[in-house]
Structure 1
Amino acid sequence: MVITRRWAGFLVAVGVWTWVIWPRFGLAIYRDDRAFDGGTPTAFLWVHALLIGASLVIGTVVGLLGVRAWRAAGRSGP
């Protein structure tokens, strides 16, 4: 499969976007009143932590694939 530089750049942008947005969301969840019950993490916190972690892993993989595609597109010519 051939990915153009334009699509590769899009994949890299998605990876960067993921790392800009999700940590901020994680901080908001952590500070939410529903995150802890008497100092103990709640299901609300654990579910969101799992979702955030999965999104960061997926975003990292997508971003790395974009970087690899960008480099490959540069070697193959214009």
Structure 2
Amino acid sequence: PGMLAVGEALADACAQRRFLCVLGDAGVGKTFAVRTAARRLGAPVLLDLRAQSAPADLRAGLHGALELTGAPPADPRRR
């Protein structure tokens, strides 16, 4: 996606209080586009998801990025 498309998608996601996932090949500027758009929008929460991220790491990262209290949620399959 281009810079303009990422900026518009991020603005829409923020306005609707939704998540946004930007996908693309390595080195095409995804991180740069998202960070640039985020600065213009007043720093929404950014969470960098790597292909090797484990579900527990994702839950903990999102929990921390949103500054939630308490412990990150446990694996729902292990209740």
Larger RCO of the pair (alpha carbons < 8 Å, separation 6+): 1
Question: Considering the TM-score relative to the shorter chain, is it more than 0.5?
Answer: no
Q: Between Structure 1 and Structure 2, whose CA radius of gyration is higher?
A: 1
TM-score range, shorter chain: under 0.3
Q: TM-score, normalised by structure 2?
A: 0.28
- Greater per-residue helix proportion: 1
Q: TM-score, normalised by structure 1?
A: 0.28
- Greater per-residue strand proportion: 1
